[in-house]
Amino acid sequence: MSECIRCRKESILISSPLNVCADCIRSHFPEVKARIEKLHAESRGKFGLPSEAPRADKGLQCNTCVNRCRVPPGERGYCGVRLNKGNNFSGGTADEANLLWYYDSLPTNCVADWVCPGGTGCGYPRFSHSRGPEYGYQNLAVFFNACSFDCLFCQNWHYREDSLRKGGSGPQEIVDNVDERTSCICYFGGDPAPQILYSLEASRLAMEKRAGRLLRICWETNGSMNPAYLEEMAGIALKSGGCIKFDLKAWHEELHLALCGVTNRQTLSNFELLAKRVSERPEPPLLVASTLLVPGYVDEIEVRKIAEFIASLNPEIPYSLLGFYPHFYMRDLPRTSRRHADNCLKAAREAGLKRVRIGNLHLLGNEY
């Protein structure tokens, strides 16, 4: 049970490190902004990451993502991997990345497994090896140790421990590990955005290696990359049968800043940009959306607004609602309740979306 520093409301749905309720964040953001910024600076400082996106007058300009850092000599961008070394960027380039990779048997617990070829066989025979789930095949999962956001509820927060180490993986490492059982590559993290150039180069090389054979290329992302790179991603995904999965974390910018430390304006703009290309390949879907239902913060209000936004672009875009498990700075919150999830599912359907589901029922907890 924690208390909001502004309205003094007490609730188990107020995270104690934040100490601000969702209503006060949405309606009285200037009054709680200092508290929010202090917490994000603390959460980043523990890992040696910049407390905010650098804006040095004589810094090196990075245009990779929404943060548009101007990085001073010898220092790093907000993501931690873009280092200004001798007035050139080291890290986050097409030639090297800070990552780890592994094989994941198909069908896997991908956000899009309920609508993608690997999980359903849709797109067979052009984009899938079988009419149903691709048993016997595997996904090459590429996890990037960096992110353009600072989510207080991050469920893969351990990547921060490695984000400042030198990236040592060249794109050929990914290509060399695409074997005959590999039917898709998925980039996630952290987030692909800070190292998007690497993913694009590795994808091109892998598709050349598998020319004439099936290899889907997918991204799971917060959608904050430079729009020019998003267009390149879309071209690769469309051609290969892959999808781009956008994690829409909140609708109101104030709440997004509180939870993630960064604006969601570019994410929403990029989602709209990509939605315009959905008709180029209706099945399997190019664009898939998801939202993590953080108790007390990502509520029906947020989900309804997100769903209305998606439906206004294309009501057929798949949308997955995900159960929250306590992690990182929000580990004092309960798991998403079944009632919370069901109410958000109802709100999304009422908003006009035709393909919505609760993605991980096994994580849902007791009522609160």
The CATH number of the domain where 258 resides is what? 3.20.20.70
In Å, how far are 127, 287, 361 from 192, measured between CA atoms? 23, 16, 27
pLDDT digits (tens, 9 = 90+) for 42-53: 999 999 999 999
Greatest CA separation for the chain: 63
pLDDT digits (tens, 9 = 90+) for 200-227: 999 999 999 999 899 999 999 999 999 9
| pLDDT class of 166 with cuts at 50, 70, 90 | confident
Task: Report which residue type is found at 197.
Answer: L
Q: Quick one: what percent of the chain has pLDDT higher than 90?
A: 92
Report the distance separating Cα 20 and Cα 16, nearest Å. Answer: 8
Report the distance separating Cα 158 and Cα 166, nearest Å. Answer: 16
Q: What is the mean pLDDT of the chain?
A: 96
In this structure, is residue 358 part of a structural domain? yes
pLDDT at 368 over 80: no
In this structure, is residue 13 part of a structural domain? no
Average of per-residue pLDDT across 257-262: 98
In this structure, is residue 250 part of a structural domain? yes
Give CA angle at 152 (56, 267), nearest 5°.
65
In 3D space, the residue among 259, 185, 266, 254 whose CA is nearest the CA of residue 224 turns out to be 266
pLDDT digits (tens, 9 = 90+) for 51-61: 999 998 889 99
- Split into its structural domains, the chain has a count of 1
Three-state SS at 95: coil
In this structure, is residue 218 part of a structural domain? yes
Query: What pLDDT is stored for residue 167 in this prediction?
Result: 78
Query: What pLDDT is stored for residue 163 in this prediction?
Result: 87
In this structure, is residue 46 part of a structural domain? no
> Is-contact 215 139, C-beta < 8 A?
no
DSSP strands (E only) in the chain: 2-3, 10-11, 60-61, 70-71, 83-85, 88-90, 99-105, 138-144, 182-189, 216-221, 244-247, 287-293, 319-323, 356-358
299 is in which domain, residue-wise? 99-363
In this structure, is residue 44 part of a structural domain? no
